[in-house]
Structure 1
């Protein structure tokens, strides 16, 4: 018996139901070094202070962002490891996921460091850390496993006792 048959058999009027999806889960592909680990390294670098700390924090912030982009894309089946950052961001946007333009600012800062040998100042690195933290943490939070249920419920919980007013179905 499927859910619809069960509802009909118990006099459950599905046209008057509210449906809530607890969903399922989405397991993100594990990377050898996670975006959060790169972010932690960047924070540690920044806290040490000095020129080496700014340089290392900048590169680790970029790694955290690009690692998060790749983790999301690989999890959706895209071979993104060799893609450039603009393509990765564009693909995430096409999927309807968060990929703010601010990410490009951080990547550009790191590219200036690597290709023009210009060290970012303390304020720029601090801002980059904040951007990376917000992106990595929000992207990770979107895919924390959630309930594996689908719930149908009638808007009137005061229905007669012999009438079913809520059905919860496990999706596994």
Structure 2
């Protein structure tokens, strides 16, 4: 099955059946966090102290630490998914990492664009950063770090199980969506029905767009009925699908 067909299959199924989903013992697993000497919030603390100092040197150092905070938080996130080494071995750059974060959709795309624009400006233009611009960058990075922390926590529940019943209350099918954190780095969707409906779709990390979409769906199904309605989940999945199929 082609990558876009896998995306279409999951999108269509969730949109059609989510209102009938009944939780069936979703499961979680331990995830690993890298053993860094410093983490994103350490760099945020350094940056905050340098904002208070306010000298030209302190402003430059502040920008450097905010950049490190973003890099560190993304790598921590990738490590929690067991794909950090994949990025490292393939020498995949920051923009590629950001693509995956954007695909999951946990940070407003406009804010993400602003964050990256400011970051690039600070890196490639030899100007003294304005204090207002630094304040904006600090706020964006702080929000970015907090959002990825929440994703890491939410995706502790990396296996979602649902039963679907018809209007008469009869069992129709069982649906399972699971993030495999092992060496293969894949996400598996499974359908088991009473009418000999048995289908398994495996999405490997190499299917980059599809992997991001399935991870997005897993995240949305996790927050469903706690932080988001079924309508919100369907709308967000449709937005993600449209963006993949009709890129600007």
Please say whether Structure 1 and Structure 2 have the same fold, judged by a TM-score greater than 0.5.
yes
Task: Tell me if the contact between 2:32 and 2:79 (Cα under 8 Å) persists in the aligned partners.
Answer: no
C-alpha deviation, 1:93, in angstroms: 3.3
Unaligned residue ranges in structure 2 (runs of 5+): 1-21, 161-248
Q: Which residue in the other structure is 2:59 paired with?
A: 54
Task: Tell me if the contact between 2:107 and 2:147 (Cα under 8 Å) persists in the aligned partners.
Answer: no
Q: Which residue in the other structure is 1:133 paired with?
A: 142
Which stretch of the first structure deviates more once superposed, 26-35 or 41-50?
26-35
Unaligned residue ranges in structure 1 (runs of 5+): 1-16, 151-172
State yes or no: 1:25 paired with 2:30.
Answer: yes
1:72-151 residue pairs with structure 2 within 5 A?
72-76=77-81, 77-78=83-84, 79-81=86-88, 82-94=91-103, 96=104, 98-101=106-109, 102-144=111-153
Tell me the alpha carbon deviations over residues 124-157 of structure 1, each in whole angstroms, 9 at most, x when there is no partner. Answer: 100111111111122113324869xx9xxxxxxx
- Count of aligned positions: 135
Aligned residue for 2:147, secondary structure, equals helix
Higher relative contact order (CA 8 A, sep 6+): 1
Q: Distance in 1 between matches of 2:108 and 2:37?
A: 25
Q: Distance in 2 between matches of 1:44 and 1:69?
A: 22
State yes or no: 1:36 paired with 2:41.
Answer: yes
Structure with bigger gyration radius: 1
Output the aligned Cα RMSD: 3.2
TM-score by length of 2: 0.46
Task: Tell me if the contact between 1:35 and 1:65 (Cα under 8 Å) persists in the aligned partners.
Answer: yes
